[in-house]
Amino acid sequence: MSPDRNLGNSADNPLTAGLLRQLDEGREFTWWTIYLEPLLGSGERYAVGIALQEAGQVVRVLSAVPADTLATLFGRAGKDLARLAETALADLHGWVRGGAAPTEWEPHLGAVTLGPPRSGIAGSMEQARQIALAASSMLAALQLNGDAPAPAKERTGASAWERSIRSIVKERRDVLAPGFGRTMELHHGNARFKERFGFVGGRIAANFASLSTPRSIDYHTRIAKSDLLNLENLRSLQESSDMVPIQRYEMLVQVSSNQVMAEWTAGQQAAIADALGALEAFGDKHSIRVVNLADASAAADRIIRAEI
């Protein structure tokens, strides 16, 4: 089946045929599928959302796959995929909310692309939503049919890097330990969602990333960029509220020591350097400081000094 075939008007598609039979008064709509390529350059893409518009109306940005479904299918990597997807959808929501067309969108995250416009006819916007989702994503179609995988158990989400920092902070300044792994409610336009942060205290908010190995470096860099954008969102909410604003927002990035890097090939060293440079430039663009640290003790000291 050609990818640009008009599935919204087609009864040949088994995922949408049942919905199309429900139509009474037809209403035209257009949608775009939002794709995420987790492994940059692999060509493997997942439909993570849609932008849906009825003729002459505002664009709605909708998730295609629940986070718990991704976690069930991909384990901890699924939670990372969900975070990347959520960041991409919030990015597009902010774009169209400002009046710009979806086709003009320039995603902040790499490996996020927008599919071509596709059109259909539905009896209501709810039917349009179901048709567009079912025609864009098999996982969304399963969800609509009640056949989605059962949710996995909730995971803490703490990386080994974060756990090491927390352990040291707890030993040196136990009163700060509750600041780790805090979940905060964020919002982008009318969309509200919860995000987990590495540390949120009274004076510093920080997320943690590890770029200490060349393995899957592009993937981990995108996760770090997503966490950095969450810090920017948190800062915007804090500054617009009556709360005492947090003074510092930082990405604390684990890097390898010079001794360890000396054992890598020149290509591996260049890949790490490029990733760190890209993340620092991304942080500068969004006014979030990126701090490279070789050990958890230095990261713990940084948090403690900021809070006391």
Instruction: Indicate the length of the chain as a whole number.
Output: 308
Asked whether the beta carbons of 136 and 129 are under 8 A apart, the reply is no
* Percentage of the chain exceeding pLDDT 90: 25
Give mean pLDDT, residues 216-220: 79
Tell me the pTM.
Answer: 0.56
Q: What is the pLDDT of residue 191?
A: 58
Alpha carbon distance 8, 16 (integer Å): 7
d(CA 258, CA 136): 46
CB under 8 Å to 290, separation ≥6 — which residues?
228, 250, 251, 253, 279, 280, 282, 283
Q: Predicted confidence band at 261 (pLDDT cuts at 50, 70, 90)?
A: confident
Three-state SS string over the chain comes to: CCCCCCCECCCCCCCCHHHHCCCCCCEEEEEEEEEECCCCCCCCCEEEEEEEEECCCCEEEEECCCHHHHHHHHCHHHHHHHHHHHHHHHHHHHHHHCCCCHHHCCCCCCCEEECCCEEEEECCHHHHHHHHHHHHCHHHHHHHCCCCCCCCCCCCCCCHHHHHHHHHHHHHCHHHHHHECCEEEEEECCEEEEEECCEECCCEEEEEEECCCCCCHHHHHHHHHHHHHHHHHHHHHHHCCCCCCCCEEEEEEECCCHHHHCCCCHHHHHHHHHHHHHHHHHHHHCCCEEEEECCHHHHHHHHHHHHC
Residue 173's pLDDT is 92
Residues pairing with 53 in the sheet: 30, 59
pLDDT per position as a tens digit, 149-202: 444 333 345 688 999 999 999 999 999 999 999 988 876 555 567 788 999 999
The pLDDT-based confidence of 306 (bands split at 50, 70, 90) is very high
Of the chain, the percentage scoring pLDDT greater than 70 comes to 80
Task: Give the number of other CB atoms < 10 A from CB of residue 65.
Answer: 24
Residue 78 has pLDDT above 80, yes or no: no
In this structure, what is the dihedral angle of CA atoms 192, 243, 305, 186, given to the nearest 10 degrees? Answer: 0
What is the distance between the terminal CA atoms of the chain, rounded to a whole angstrom? 62
Give the C-alpha separation, 296 to 302, whole Å: 10
- Residue ranges of domains in the chain, CATH in brackets: 17-144 (no CATH), 160-307 (3.40.50.10130)
| C-alpha span between 250 and 306 (Å, rounded) | 11
Name the range with the highest mean pLDDT among 59-68, 123-132, 263-272.
263-272
Q: Which two tokens stand for residue 152?
A: 């996995």
C-alpha closest to that of 46 among 55, 36, 57: 36
The values of phi and psi at residue 192, to 5°, are -120, 140
